[in-house]
Structure 1
């Protein structure tokens, strides 16, 4: 029993310590001052490496924590969905920068930042509603901005997808055709 408690506590601390590190690194790297404007580009690279390591560790901690958590299954589904977006978006962002595709790197790391920021959104909902909103609702609401980020990325890509054309201005569509 003590061993199980210590293991669960370790899983918790792995996630709770590495998650904020990933969040802080995301904030630094998301804004342009870290990409050669204020700091040298090597700063962005090293903070990115730390971010990637923190996401890997936090993802592992979240997965292991979810296996033993007393949280209801339908809440775990929301967190596992986030995990299924968070880790692959980081890996794809890393892959694209390693292959020299800067535009795709930026797009995937924007998605990754949205996933990382879900932790902030979850806590903001709790703060704004003073804890009066059911937890399961806050978990799923914290994922909305990930969908909004994807819509933004698709719209900024020139409205070339049919499903998103309704969000574009009519003249944008006419100019594309």
Structure 2
């Protein structure tokens, strides 16, 4: 219980800090003023104007999924089932639309082909975990739905973790972006899912222990 009281506020703080950063960096200022995007502009063949048409929906939908997903994890959300279902649909559609948009963004990912592959792998995990979670709630399997939506949000949270891990990798290893970017993506996926599985395993043990004590 204590861990949950700590984890959720941390998730909220990180999610909102990233949201503020994205809004300031990409919506108030121009994307071209960001370091990673300005580097792309050095390539004369980079289709900046078309890329922006995909990039803006990508970050907006990512923020929607990030913030709604954090709220959906709370007991407050689950107490209002009507609101929970509505927000759940928005969460699901924001991911579906983003997965359709993301491959184009991935084609121009910093780091080249290796980064493109890494981000496509991320999209597969994102779509897969979310789709399984949705299937379980349609089958009225609430517990499995919660489990898979936690995994889905773990992938959504890569939106945050990636930036933290990338900074650590770049400071630790003097390597080209073709190595640091995909490495940060894979490490972020692994870290988020491992922590989620540890939480799920502990929750399962607590449920079994409570059942045995009450038997």
Q: With structure 1 as the length reference, what TM-score do the two structures score? A: 0.74
Specify the alignment match of 1:168 in structure 2.
none
Change in Cα spacing, 1:33 to 1:151, as seen in structure 2 (3 Å) is same
> 5+ residue gaps in structure 2?
1-43, 173-179, 206-215
Equivalent in 171, 189, 202 of residue 143 of structure 1: 189
Query: What do you get for the CA RMSD once the two structures are aligned?
Result: 2.6
C-alpha contact 2:119 2:182 (8 A) present in aligned 1: no
> 5+ residue gaps in structure 1?
159-177
Alpha-carbon displacement from aligned partner over 1:2-32 (angstroms, at most 9, x marks no partner): 9x54321111112111011011111010122
Distance 1:18 1:64 in 2: 15
Q: Structure 1 residue 132 and structure 2 residue 171: aligned?
A: yes
Specify the alignment match of 1:166 in structure 2.
none
Distance 1:14 1:89 in 2: 21
Q: How does 1:162-173 map to 2 (within 5 A)?
A: none
Equivalent in 2, 15, 22 of residue 65 of structure 2: 22
Specify the alignment match of 1:169 in structure 2.
none
Displacement after TM superposition at 1:69 (Å): 4.0
User: Which structure has greater helix proportion?
Assistant: 2
Greater shift after overlay, 44-53 or 146-155?
146-155
Give the number of equivalent residue pairs.
154
Q: Secondary structure of the equivalent of 2:132?
A: helix
Equivalent in 39, 50, 58 of residue 7 of structure 1: 50
C-alpha contact 1:114 1:145 (8 A) present in aligned 2: no
Equivalent in 108, 112, 115 of residue 75 of structure 1: 115
Displacement after TM superposition at 1:65 (Å): 1.6
Q: How does 1:20-169 map to 2 (within 5 A)?
A: 20-36=63-79, 40-69=80-109, 71-126=111-166, 129=168, 132-133=171-172, 134-148=180-194, 149-150=196-197, 152-153=199-200
Q: Secondary structure of the equivalent of 2:101?
A: helix
